[in-house]
Amino acid sequence: MSEIGKVLIVCHNMGVVVKGLERKLNEEHIVTEFTGTGVDYIEKSPSKLCIVYLTDELDGMQAYLNALMTVSETTDKGIIFLGGKREKELMAKAYPRMRITAWYDRALDMDQFAKFVKKYLEEKLLNKDKKKILIVDDDPTYAKMVREWLKEDYQVSVVVSGMQAISFLTKNMVDLILLDYEMPITNGPQVLQMLREDPRTAVIPVVFLTGVGDKESVVQVMALKPKGYILKSSGRDQIISTVKNFI
């Protein structure tokens, strides 16, 4: 049986738990590599998934976590954290916008975890030929809901700020952008303007996905000449239908 994919294990050292986890993943034909080669390698690694083993010494992993934040913003790699309640709380405060695929307690069932990783990588293989959509919305709960509606037919990535979208698109091309209109710091119109100023991203269709529905606001949005405009209140069927019109 050929390998399913490659994962990068991020931690301070290869302790007993991490070695056991690596062995279990290898049994599932998953290739593993370790960040012993250096923090910089996190961004360069060809792996499709990063597994991060957190310990009580979270401060000592700051360089690793900063690199993972960049990965979260600029790639579609998955990131899974293994840690305790304290580490989860600290991560939520320090990196509230990091895109996390899953969180597991350190006292995990390794067989179950290996099956989850295997399923994730298998889905990555199935999705590689699907059209790609980027959802840009500062409400991660709503963005993830829309992703669930679309992920069966498309490869969907989510970012939660305008600048994350710009960073993501420097390394990843997509076929359609669903862009929230009202966001803090860099709003939807500003993001659209930056995308149009870059020849590489100017051709990507952008559809505003927003809760702004009064007549005056709609006129202002359409003056920017996006490829489309969907009210969030339109619901699942209308969003899916609009996406199909472009892809």
Q: How far apart are CA 132 and CA 141, in angstroms?
A: 20
Q: For residue 80, what are the β-bridge partners?
A: 51, 102
Q: How large a percentage of the chain has pLDDT more than 70?
A: 95
For 36-72, write each residue's pLDDT tens digit.
Answer: 767 888 888 888 899 999 876 777 788 889 889 888 8
> Quick check: 27 pLDDT over 60?
yes
> Quick check: 213 pLDDT over 70?
no
Mean pLDDT of 156-182: 89
Residues 6+ apart with CB under 8 A from 66: none
Determine how β-strand 132-136 pairs with β-strand 176-179: parallel
Residues 6+ apart with CB under 8 A from 120: 49, 78, 101
> Quick check: 80 pLDDT over 70?
yes
- One DSSP character per residue, 188-223 reads HHHHHHHHHHSTTTTTS-EEEEES--SHHHHHHHHH
Mean pLDDT of 96-121: 90
Q: Which of 78, 107, 106, 83 is nearest to 94 (CA)?
A: 83
Determine how β-strand 78-83 pairs with β-strand 132-136: unpaired
Regarding pTM above 0.85, the answer is: no
Whole-number pLDDT of residue 228: 79
Alpha carbon 150 to its chain centroid, in Å, reads 15
**Measured CA angle at 16 (ends 14, 20), to 5 deg:** 95
Q: How far apart are CA 72 and CA 66, in angstroms?
A: 10
The H helix count followed by the E strand count for the chain is 10, 10
Q: How far apart are CA 95 and CA 98, in angstroms?
A: 6
> Quick check: 32 pLDDT over 90?
yes
Whole-number pLDDT of residue 37: 65
Helix (H, G, I), strand (E, B) or coil at 128: coil
Whole-number pLDDT of residue 1: 46
Sequence letter at residue 184: P
Whole-number pLDDT of residue 111: 92
Mean pLDDT of 150-160: 88
Alpha carbon 63 to its chain centroid, in Å, reads 20
Whole-number pLDDT of residue 23: 93
Whole-number pLDDT of residue 2: 59
Mean pLDDT of 207-225: 74
Q: How far apart are CA 188 and CA 180, in angstroms?
A: 6
Mean pLDDT of 156-162: 88
All structural domains of the chain: 5-126 (3.40.50.2300), 130-246 (3.40.50.2300)
Whole-number pLDDT of residue 26: 93
